[in-house]
Amino acid sequence: MTAVTAALQASASRDATAMAVRYLLQALAEKVPGNTVEVRVPPFGAVQCVEGPRHTRGTPPNVIETDAATWLALATGATSWSDAVASGVVHASGTRATLEPYLPVYRPR
């Protein structure tokens, strides 16, 4: 997708970044359907994914939150899950809050 490729450029516009983040979040939700883990990339979007217990009220027990640049790097394989968590750019809470087995979502050419 050209929006993802454009957003990976250092000079990407906010609109291109937003589109790429939302596209990759949706791709994750389609790849790993479910409602056990909520992935948040403020201010651009959030999805629920991963099979398991469904969450319906309040703050989900398994939450992953990161910034747009980190999400783009994770989703495209430019950064590993373990490196992002270790460096503190990904905040993951809950026993099932990991995306390691599901990344990358998309590989740019």
Tell me the per-residue pLDDT of 24-76, one tens digit each, with 9 for 90 and over: 999 999 999 999 999 999 999 999 999 987 766 777 789 999 999 999 999 99
Task: Establish if 109 belongs to a structural domain.
Answer: no
CATH number, domain containing residue 69: 3.30.1050.40
Q: Give the residue-averaged pLDDT of 77-103.
A: 96
Q: Is the dihedral of CA 28, 31, 32, 33 positive or negative?
A: positive
Q: Give the residue-averaged pLDDT of 6-15.
A: 74
70 contacts 10 by C-beta, under 8 angstroms: no
Task: Establish if 108 belongs to a structural domain.
Answer: no
How many domains does the structure of the chain reveal? 1
Q: Tell me: pLDDT of 105 over 80.
A: yes
Reported as half-sphere exposure (CB side, CA atoms, 13 A), residue 11 has a value of 0
The residues that bridge with 48 in the sheet, in sequence order, are 38
pLDDT at 79: 96
What range does the domain containing 13 cover? 2-102
pLDDT at 7: 62
Task: Establish if 107 belongs to a structural domain.
Answer: no
Q: How far apart are CA 29 and CA 101, in angstroms?
A: 14
Taking all residues of the chain, what is their mean pLDDT, rounded to a whole number?
Answer: 90
pLDDT at 4: 66
Provide φ and ψ at 77, rounded to 5°.
85, 10
pLDDT at 60: 78
